[in-house]
Structure 1
């Protein structure tokens, strides 16, 4: 339930209105809180601040903040649109969560609300001498914060939406998700066995992508009914109403309608994929950026080569022997979880680039270098899959490259020709 609540809170945080609303509430509380200083002995210690001087400062803030807030929203929308057009529409979810831009917009709107509430309170005699002094200090702090926030935001907005910055953002999100997957590939469940009856299954009530699986709820359900639950797929998989969502070890003594309802509540299905729980989605978003760059209308192989470098960095997470979580790996001993095969990660990361860049010698050479690098990872499946994809990429290029010297160079650099399988 904690994980489910965290997922919901993260979705709420992504909404553009959420943080400005919090800042507005804080601003109103701060404006009204200054009055409590009148009930203390602070009046004898602080200078008497004239109402006119505070009103003048607040008027300056109120008249400028609304304009700046509108300008900030316009700039953010332009940046979001640029990210979707130059990179991939899937990157919009990442760019829109930019904390610096949200904090700036929240500060601007919060300062505007603070100035309006404080001005009304001042002109109606809400504050005494101490209250006016505290309000003056609050106003100066707000003013300084707005200036610093604006300067930081200008630097941020100049990069937000640019292709290179978007690639870095997508890579960062993919890294977190992939690292979590490598740490717990079975979601702390147990491997799939052959003891589950495939004739007893629950189908999803919705059609879409699996976004999140509440393993705690499934474990409690399985323990309560003394059954084993086998997942048919993990987050990122597409399911429909005629496909099995989970398999059950038995149906005897079970209220299947109630079980179906609880399982569908524990497995969230939505119309889109989420980066946090789906380890392949970040790789897919990066490969989409590369495919767009390799399209004839854009013809930017440099971006595709940069994406290949990002993909290699992400795959080298498997090279870190400390990523495995050795503690409490099998918390959910009644839930069987299928493990994602390595080739699916390669398909997500390299197949689109191999297809769309087959006629570009620079891209294909960089791909072969990438496969050579990945083969050094101490992971037998990655090594074998790198060899297989090296051969596949070469065969694609063989059909597209017409210049003989390019093809000979690629053949010389192709990783699969440098190694032989035990059967060979």
Structure 2
């Protein structure tokens, strides 16, 4: 549960160019480090390196790193395009935030900048004998780092943008968001089962239209304490906000500064985010499965894999009785996630698009039974409802009566 500014910093650091720029600045500093060190080291070193030797090495580095960086960018763009067209455009966000790709690309670009700065410095004679030797040592270290980066890049390319790798990233992001919700229901606010407007409350509206990506709970709590107010949050992460829909209801306060600060605690953009929005992650997983089940792709195996992954994610819902029920923000209230909504986000699109495929129906029913068996008190009702929807879709879509009869028998055997 990050504050808004910490969340914005994390989002900024995930941008691909930031890490490359940082490595570039570090490369310039390393290349020029020999100049002050030369004045610190008074005694001459046991041997010296000519400027021509280092320039030849740096020329090789500069030309090769420029080519490798260009090639790596081409590979990444190709992987992003493949993931968008074959998996899900929404999953591209996670691919762009891939730390290994960013580190490798930043290493290549930083090495190229290091080589250029070193060549310019050598040709302007700012290094003495000691400085050239220090530059040579740092060049050897840079070469070792490049070799390590190349080996990591070769391994990483074998699965970058592949279906299994992208599905795993979506599963991990969704699982983290859902686990945070389960560990702290309503993200530390007072959980609401029913939303009713308080008598003396006023609505907090925004001029922006888009999805709520993040809600700064700590900031809202501080405002509520400062003004002795109560805030009922109506727009959690994932909610589509527009000028006619209130973000929150504010009670016991009419201060303009408080109202504006509450409005600023909601981060709104044109796209949803995985961070506080597990329903978005489940919807992306369902989208991957639905695309695999389309007639153009016809890949029920991927849909079955997504169902299994979704089952693992939703098992976290059974840990609600182990949740920390301590109210971190007593003056805030928010609706909790409805189990049935989560089940519908994931399973309903797959049941609809895979209704004619018996194997998909079987995997859906077995996964629903698995969830109900592991956590009967929390998940049985939702599992039974979804099992009925699976049968409803399959009855109208299946060509074979025997396949439908098999699904009905399975429902009875699994007590759904």
Q: TM-score surpassing 0.5?
A: yes
What TM bracket, shorter-length normalisation? over 0.9
Assess if the C-alpha contact under 8 Å between 1:377 and 1:383 holds in 2: no
Partner of 1:407: 404
> 2:268 aligns to what SS in structure 1?
strand
For 2:287 and 2:86, how far apart are their aligned partners in 1?
A: 11
Counterpart mapping for 1:337-348 below 5 A: 337-348=334-345
For 1:419 and 1:67, how far apart are their aligned partners in 2?
A: 61
For 1:137 and 1:362, how far apart are their aligned partners in 2?
A: 61
For 1:218 and 1:321, how far apart are their aligned partners in 2?
A: 25
Of residues 200, 203, 211, the one that matches 1:201 is 203
For 1:407 and 1:246, how far apart are their aligned partners in 2?
A: 47
Partner of 2:309: 310
Q: Decide whether aligned partners of structure 1 residues 189 and 7 sit closer, same or farther in structure 2, where only a CA change above 3 A counts.
A: same
* Structure 1 residue 119 displacement after superposition: 1.0
> 1:275 aligns to what SS in structure 2?
coil
**Larger mean Cα displacement after TM superposition, 157-166 or 21-30:** 157-166
* Structure 1 residue 99 displacement after superposition: 1.2
* Structure 1 residue 376 displacement after superposition: 1.5
* Structure 1 residue 183 displacement after superposition: 0.8
For 1:418 and 1:147, how far apart are their aligned partners in 2?
A: 55
Displaced runs of 4 or more, over 6 A: none
Partner of 2:357: 360
> 2:160 aligns to what SS in structure 1?
coil
Cα deviations by residue, 1:185-207 (Å, 9 ceiling, x for unpaired)? 21111123768227622222211
How large is the RMSD of aligned CA atoms in angstroms?
A: 1.9
* Structure 1 residue 308 displacement after superposition: 0.2
For 1:86 and 1:101, how far apart are their aligned partners in 2?
A: 20
Partner of 2:216: 214
Assess if the C-alpha contact under 8 Å between 1:79 and 1:157 holds in 2: no
Partner of 1:235: 237
Partner of 1:268: 267
Assess if the C-alpha contact under 8 Å between 2:3 and 2:219 holds in 1: no
Query: Aligned residues, how many?
Result: 414
Cα deviations by residue, 1:258-308 (Å, 9 ceiling, x for unpaired)? 333211101111111100111111111111000000111111100000000
Q: Which consecutive residues of structure 1, in runs of 5 or more, have no partner in the other structure?
A: none
* Structure 1 residue 154 displacement after superposition: 1.9
Assess if the C-alpha contact under 8 Å between 1:231 and 1:336 holds in 2: yes
Q: Decide whether aligned partners of structure 1 residues 379 and 9 sit closer, same or farther in structure 2, where only a CA change above 3 A counts.
A: farther
For 1:330 and 1:72, how far apart are their aligned partners in 2?
A: 48
Assess if the C-alpha contact under 8 Å between 2:201 and 2:251 holds in 1: no
* Structure 1 residue 237 displacement after superposition: 1.1
Of residues 366, 375, 380, the one that matches 2:377 is 380
Partner of 2:13: 13
Partner of 1:75: 75
* Structure 1 residue 325 displacement after superposition: 3.2
Counterpart mapping for 1:90-239 below 5 A: 90-192=90-192, 196-197=198-199, 200-239=202-241
> 1:337 aligns to what SS in structure 2?
strand
* Structure 1 residue 4 displacement after superposition: 1.6
Counterpart mapping for 1:268-347 below 5 A: 268-320=267-319, 324-325=323-324, 329-347=326-344
Assess if the C-alpha contact under 8 Å between 1:174 and 1:275 holds in 2: yes
Q: Which consecutive residues of structure 2, in runs of 5 or more, have no partner in the other structure?
A: none
Assess if the C-alpha contact under 8 Å between 1:233 and 1:338 holds in 2: no
Question: Could you tell me the TM-score, scaled by structure 1's length?
Answer: 0.93
Question: Could you tell me the TM-score, scaled by structure 2's length?
Answer: 0.95
* Structure 1 residue 52 displacement after superposition: 1.4
For 1:36 and 1:418, how far apart are their aligned partners in 2?
A: 74
